[in-house]
Amino acid sequence: MNDRIGTYFPLIIAALLAATTFWLEQVVSNEIHDSKGNLRHEPDLIANQVVIDRFDVTGKHITHITSVRGFHYPDDDTADFFEPVVTFMRAGQPAVFSSQKAHAENATKVVEMQGDVKGNRAAFGDTPAMTMNTEALTVLTDDEIARTDQPVVLTHGAASITGVGMEWNNLTGVFTVNNQARTTFLAHKQH
């Protein structure tokens, strides 16, 4: 009988090794699957009536964002907003942008606004009011720049400008229409 055990001993060790290897592979596979499950693009936070205020290193208020509803995703630190309003606060007069929805990246401080995008800055001093309408707008919140490659309609006082592609720099007060720009000046009524 001892001879039979001696004969089968290598096979028993090999079987135990195979079983242990199989078990370890299953454990590792399940851990990898579980960790990937935690990285799914699912919200970890859903909020109504969202308000986000950003300040620079000196404590100056630079950006104010509101939204009817927001979703934060931990896997890529992004957020989706519904009926968002982004306000640039640093310049002499705030610029306000609104849309139907937006996707924001926390790392880059970029907000991609989509659907019936509107922008406006009220008149102040000798500077007339400005408005903008387009369908998609990329907002760089730290730089207070908004740009699009879509058709756009701008008004600046009595001037109406249409074109394709635009950049609005709120800090300098300059906006540029990139292509197919056409300007119309509205006549003032004289009394």
Residue type present at position 36: K
Number of domains in the chain: 2
More confident residue, 6 or 53: 53
Does 74 lie in the same domain as 2?
A: no
More confident residue, 6 or 126: 126
* CATH number (domain holding residue 81): 2.60.450.10
- Whether 190 is in a domain gets the answer no
Helix ranges, the chain (H): 2-37
- Work out the pLDDT band at 183, boundaries 50, 70, 90: low
Give the CA angle between residues 11, 14, 15 to the nearest 5°: 85
Work out the average pLDDT over 116-142: 91
- Report helix, strand or coil for 93: coil
- Work out the pLDDT band at 32, boundaries 50, 70, 90: low
Does 75 lie in the same domain as 34?
A: no
Judge whether residue 191 has pLDDT over 60.
Answer: no
Does 176 lie in the same domain as 95?
A: yes
Note if the pTM is more than 0.85: no
Query: How many other β-carbons are positioned within 10 Å of the β-carbon of residue 136?
Result: 16
